[in-house]
Amino acid sequence: MATELEYFEQAISLKEYMDRMEQLKDSSFSIYEKFDVPKDDEFITRLKEVKPRILVITEDWCGDAMMNNPILRRIAEAADLDVRAVYRDQDTELIDRHLTNGGRSIPVYLLLDADGNVSAKWGPRAATIQKHVMELKQQIPAKNSPDFEEKQRAVHKQITAEYTTKPEHWLTVYEDIRTTFLPVVQEA
């Protein structure tokens, strides 16, 4: 059984992952091109000092990954961090160690300490975005309903549209990542 550090060492850079995307690539790059890391000396400076490695578990069909990964990439670039990605579905052993509410939800960001141990986990969504998405999904009827697929497509389309056009969502993701990782890097 490979360790998270071994997965990290065999992974591709987040940049390479995004360059290889086949699905949702244009939307992901649109966010990447428009998002700027907020001026935040404490978080970025501390990341630069500690230099944690971040292992991303992701897939390019995932709408949450489409929004979150470009934000993480901008953080990594601002702090000069090594962030690498693995595909969730190529080897489910890793994601099965880091389930969210019993599911293989992605993306998951694993902050690795100097020894390669997981010191923090983030993902798949910022808490306030999770709440909003769950409220939207309440519009979807039961699976046996005749309009289930139509309503489900409409909700997914709305979520994707919001993810790609609302900078406030991007800032929410940034703040949630910051809130999760800053206490850990402050202790390092």
CA distances from 94 to 17, 107, 134, 144 (A): 17, 12, 26, 34
Q: Is residue 30 part of a domain?
A: yes
How much is the pLDDT for 26? 96
Entry pTM: 0.95
Residue 101 maps to which CATH number? 3.40.30.10
Domain range holding 109? 4-125+168-187
Q: Is residue 104 part of a domain?
A: yes
Q: Is residue 160 part of a domain?
A: no
User: Which residues of the chain are under the pLDDT cut of 50?
Assistant: none
* Number of separate domains in the chain: 1
Per the omega criterion (within 30 degrees of 0), is the bond before 70 cis?
Answer: no
Q: Is residue 28 part of a domain?
A: yes
Tokens of residue 170, six digits: 């991007």
How much is the pLDDT for 24? 95
How much is the pLDDT for 188? 79
How much is the pLDDT for 19? 98
Strand pairing report for 12-13 and 108-112? unpaired
Q: Is residue 149 part of a domain?
A: no
Residue 53 near residue 184, CB atoms below 8 Å:
no
Q: Is residue 46 part of a domain?
A: yes
Tokens of residue 179, six digits: 């809130």
Q: Is residue 106 part of a domain?
A: yes
Q: Is residue 135 part of a domain?
A: no
